[in-house]
Structure 1
Amino acid sequence: MSSRKRSSAPTADAPEGINPKAPCPCGSGRRYKHCHGSGYAPPVTRPFEGLPGEADWVALRELVPAATAALRTADGRDVTLASVLPGGTPALVRANGEIVLGVQLQTSSDDVSRDLGTALAAALEAPAGAPVDPGPIGAAGSSGPRLQELLDLSAPFEVTVHDDYGFWLEGTDAGPAAHAGLEQANQAILPTVRLPGLEAAYWVRPGNERAHLRWVRPEPEEALLDALARLGASDQLLLGEGTRYAGAFRALGLVVPVWDLPADTPAEDWVTPATEFQTRLEQALSVTGPLNADERRTRAGLLSRQVTLR
């Protein structure tokens, strides 16, 4: 299991009125002198917590190659979120004024939400067609607001998965060099489908032999692992014949179980098995008693197949 080292930050004196031994105002639960007053930026475990579609935010940043989603700011401006922008650009403003925010950044600090909020705030101030300069992003931290401060939290978060990166050039008069770069980027895309009716469940086919279901789960990790262990111990963890539970990723505070699937079965055919699994999982999550011996062994096996994405 890997973990990120905390990024260093300039040591800050306690603001007037804050006792260094008192809980930090950021809400981490640490004393101020061991948190924001320590000279280090404590990592934000779940940077997208509180945003509609938190699990899909994680998927777009870590798993889905080409996708967009519509956002609305608190003051009513429309923004397009993209899984990635050309060259890792944090944001851009098209000539028609459309703002596009990239969820993947070349560098990041210990609060991804503030990194993206910094880029979005700069884009909101940039003239149409002008470059977006958000200032420093990553390392010791970004200086702008968090996404939770900028976005309309009542707006739905609906993801559109694309077959290629053609949306990069929509509404632009791109030249041959841009189209050549687009074609090169398209060659790296894996076929991906978001299963309808299921939050953050993505079918992907990396080759001709196997496909995968990658499902970002919103539940707290410990409760989810207990539920998966109960299902595994009772032979209810699979999605059907020819499937295998492969393991899980840990990404931005959420767990992403992964199943191996037959490659020749279309993505849409997995909606029903995944929906049935969702029902079994909800039932397992409702059980609050301690795990039995078989379930504890199964849980240990699940943990051994879990990898943290940096």
Structure 2
Amino acid sequence: MAKKTRNRAGAAGAATGENPRRPCPCGSGKRYKACHGAGDDVIVTRPFAGLAAEPDLVAMREFLPSAVAPLPLREASPVPVTLATVLPGASAALVRPDGEILLGMQVQTRSGDLSADLARALRWAREAEPGSALPVVGPGVGGAEPIRLQDVLDADASLELTLHPDFGWWVAGSDDGAEPAPEVAATLERANAVIMPTEPVVAEGVRAAYWVDTGTKAHLRWVRPEPEDQLMAALARLQARGELALTEDTRYAGAFRAHGLLVPVWDLDRELHVKEWAAPVAAFAARLEAALAGLADEPLTDAERRARDALAGKQVTLR
């Protein structure tokens, strides 16, 4: 049997799923149905490629604590379908008594393709009885026919995220306003105790940027959709110009890679309200867009290349 290769460029350029003979996004060179769609354990490094909602999905998977969003399906659903950061018991999916479907992002997985896991969980939920929950998703769940999120989502739609300060929505509307059972209340209390306050930075030209209070520091975490090489070159150009900080009192802390995207992080002043960061973040967004646009015409200078190398030392990779 030929040895599989993991081609990151192939993963980043995966097809959106309209062609049944599309190549597998893992980069093996095989058709998806004959590779990862058949239960292969190859890791898909950029599972949400081709979707406008990609930055939102990465944020929900990696660091948003309590958030929900209607899933923008290609075809209308007879029941509401809601994407959630985490569900009770870290379930992959659950069906409320009224039929509403909830899909969890922060779950244990048995495959290397998060996109396929979400699509499988959705297909399972559509056939499940009200009140059912799916603890773990993976190959074999929801039928044998391969499916990915790109097959069912509106590729051009972003997510309309709602962030919550706690997990009260876990039980909201499920028991006609009745108090949750003691064990449910205890689970909620434990979950609420570990939430880090998180709010979106709302500003023109800014998307998927979040203020996070860790208890000792405040950060801006910003999921960027650009290819890593382009983004790092633009950040290096700003660093060489002394324009990488959001304000004089902020510090660029580094970046982490998550599911094929880069997430730059800044240390912020905890005393300032999230709304006070809107203007500095919007101004930085404009500088970054200009730097990105200029890359095609002006190669990096020696100083900018040194800045890029220094910034690369501040990166970590998350699965």
- Whether TM-score is above 0.5 comes out as yes
Match for residue 147 of structure 1 among 130, 136, 149: 149
- Which residue of structure 2 aligns with residue 297 of structure 1? 306
Pick from 159, 164, 169: which aligns with 2:166? 164
Q: Is the 8 A contact 2:94 2:134 kept in 1?
A: no
Three-state SS of the structure 1 residue aligned to 2:262 is strand
Structure 1: distance between partners of 2:50 and 2:195:
30
> Could you tell me how far apart the structure 2 residues matched to 1:84 and 1:170 are?
15
Aligned partners of 1:68, 1:166: CA distance in 2, in Å?
12
- Per the alignment, do residues 177 and 146 of structure 1 end up closer, same or farther by CA in structure 2, a change over 3 Å counting? same
CA distance 1:31–1:182, shift in 2 (3 Å): closer
1:183 matched residue in structure 2: 189
Q: 1:135 to 1:177 in 2, by over 3 A?
A: closer
CA deviation after TM superposition for structure 1 residue 31, in Å: 4.3
Q: Is the 8 A contact 2:85 2:105 kept in 1?
A: yes
Is the 8 Å Cα contact of residues 92 and 137 (structure 2) preserved in structure 1?
no
CA shift, 1:52, in A, is 3.0
Shift of 1:127: 2.3
Hey, what does 1:261 align to over in structure 2?
Answer: 268
Contact 1:36 1:42 in 2 (8 A): no
Deviation track 1:58-107 (CA, whole Å, cap 9, x = no partner) reads: 00100111111111433311311100111110000000111111011112
Q: Structure 1 unaligned runs (5+)? A: 7-23
Tell me if 1:119 matches 2:125.
no
| 1:1-310 superposed matches below 5 A | 25-26=22-23, 30-32=28-30, 41-77=41-77, 78-129=80-131, 131-133=132-134, 137=138, 143=144, 144-173=146-175, 174-197=180-203, 198-208=206-216, 210-287=217-294, 288=296, 289-310=298-319
Letter in 1 for 2:75: D
Q: Write the deviation string for residues 115-164 of structure 1: whole angstroms up to 9, x where unpaired.
A: 111111101111222x244875169xx95511111223454411111101
Amino acid at match of 2:96: R
Q: Larger deviation: 238-247 or 69-78?
A: 69-78
Structure 1 partner of 2:13:
none
Matched residues, number: 286
Distance 2:70 2:160 in 1: 7
In structure 2, the CA distance between the partners of 1:108 and 1:239, relative to structure 1 (3 Å rule), is farther
TM (norm. structure 1) is 0.84
SS of 1:286's equivalent in the other structure is helix
d(CA) in 1 for partners of 2:231, 2:200: 21
CA distance 1:156–1:307, change in 2 (3 Å): closer
Over aligned residues, Cα RMSD in angstroms? 2.7
Report Cα offsets for 1:149-187 as digits up to 9, x if no partner. 122345441111110111111122331110110011100
CA contact (8 A) 1:118 1:134 kept: no
Distance 2:35 2:149 in 1: 23
TM-score, reference length from structure 2: 0.82
Using a 3 Å threshold, how does the CA distance of structure 1 residues 244 and 133 change in structure 2: closer, same or farther? closer
